[in-house]
């Protein structure tokens, strides 16, 4: 009888050390308690965090370079707002600092996505084509969890603080004094937005189980995400409303979140954001699971 090699033995050396330092990891099926299951996944995630931080310290210049590139991209977006509002006082009813708040929120959600999930999901296609996806199937956890959380990008997380700084600056310039409830709602809406973006990206990445190369399709995520920097009121036609507000979720994600701080929440759109989070994430997970059933192991 041929057995599977040890998951830790197959891991990269740094990740193996990180996992081993947390003690023996037993398969999730052997744990009956829900609390035990959660602790098991927490230990796996902490091992991934430790691996990512050690890897970052080994390649410091890489970290600094990509942090600078992302910061430059963010600066260009903010500069564009400054230039546009040098010629007008309002766009679709949004003032300059309200627009800064909206764009800062969009950047915050994207930087969190980049920090926690982008690298992992973007590598699915390459791993499926090379057969390295086998590594995730032999890990002591659900494949989707292992695929989604193996790496963190500290540069993306670092720049999420910059994006949060933009939101704070815009709120202060607007003279906003959000209550604890407003801040809590903002955090919840940002989290729901992160779930929506995760589902959209996972769905695109999962197409690799049917399509040989999906880099171009995955890259289209950024095109869709660009619409999240626009006010909801800028979409007047029926077609643009159906496509960019109700079907593709990015406009609702940022507008609902920013409105929580501005004190003008549209609760119908807030409810739709929650529905979108369930629909997009549920659809993405279903497609991913179906793709796994199609996957042919490199050892078969």
Residue spans of the domains in the chain: they are: 1-58, 61-294
Task: Please count the other Cβ atoms lying within 10 Å of the Cβ belonging to residue 227.
Answer: 20
The mean pLDDT values, 10 residues at a time, for the chain of 300 residues are 39 46 44 64 80 77 76 84 88 90 92 89 84 80 86 84 92 92 94 92 89 70 78 80 76 91 90 92 93 74
82/170 Cα distance (integer angstroms): 13
Q: What is the pLDDT of residue 22?
A: 43
SS3 helix, strand, coil % of the chain, rounded to 5? 75, 0, 25
CB 55 within 8 A of CB 155: no
Q: What is the pLDDT of residue 25?
A: 43
**pLDDT tens profile 40-62:** 778 877 877 787 778 777 777 77
- Which whole-number Å values give the CA distances from 74 to 67, 103, 104, 232, in the listed order? 11, 9, 9, 21
CB 188 within 8 A of CB 268: no
**Tokens 């400054």 belong to residue:** 82
Averaged pLDDT of the chain: 80
**Which of 12, 248, 10, 268 lies closest to 139 in space, CA to CA?**
10
Collapsed DSSP state (helix, strand, coil) of residue 91: strand
End-to-end CA distance of the chain: 15
- Render 175-188 in DSSP notation, one character per residue: T----HHHHHHHHH
- Structural element, H or E, at residue 70: helix 60-84
233/93 Cα distance (integer angstroms): 8
Let me know the angle formed at the C-alpha of 222 by 217 and 226, rounded to the nearest 5 degrees: 140
Task: Please count the other Cβ atoms lying within 10 Å of the Cβ belonging to residue 5.
Answer: 12
Q: What is the pLDDT of residue 168?
A: 94
How is residue 277 written in tokens? 């989070």
């Amino acid at each position: 009888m041929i057995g599977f090699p040890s998951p830790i033995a197959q891991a990269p050396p740094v990740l193996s050390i990180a996992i081993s330092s947390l003690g023996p990891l037993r398969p999730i099926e052997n744990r009956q308690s829900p609390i035990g299951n959660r602790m098991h996944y927490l230990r796996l995630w902490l091992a991934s965090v430790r691996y990512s931080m050690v890897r970052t310290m080994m390649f410091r210049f890489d970290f600094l370079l990509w942090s600078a590139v992302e910061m430059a991209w963010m600066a260009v977006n903010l500069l564009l707002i400054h230039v546009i509002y040098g010629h007008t006082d309002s766009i679709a009813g949004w003032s300059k600092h309200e627009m800064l708040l909206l764009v800062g929120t969009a950047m915050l959600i994207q930087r969190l996505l980049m920090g926690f999930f982008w690298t992992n999901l973007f590598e699915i296609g390459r791993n499926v084509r090379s057969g390295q996806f086998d590594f995730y199937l032999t890990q002591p956890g659900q494949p989707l969890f292992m695929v989604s959380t193996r790496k963190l990008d500290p540069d993306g997380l670092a720049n999420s603080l910059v994006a949060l700084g933009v939101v704070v600056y815009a709120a202060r310039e607007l003279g906003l004094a959000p209550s604890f409830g407003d801040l809590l709602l903002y955090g919840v809406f940002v989290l729901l937005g992160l779930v929506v973006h995760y589902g959209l990206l996972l769905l695109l990445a999962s197409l690799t189980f049917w399509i040989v190369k999906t880099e171009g399709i995955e890259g289209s995520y950024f095109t869709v995400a660009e619409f999240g920097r626009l006010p909801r009121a800028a979409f007047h036609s029926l077609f643009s409303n159906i496509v960019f507000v109700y079907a593709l979720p990015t406009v609702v994600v940022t507008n609902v979140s920013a409105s929580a701080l501005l004190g003008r929440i549209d609760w119908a759109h807030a409810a739709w954001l929650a529905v979108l989070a369930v629909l997009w994430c549920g659809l993405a997970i279903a497609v991913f699971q179906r793709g796994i059933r199609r996957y042919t192991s490199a050892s078969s």
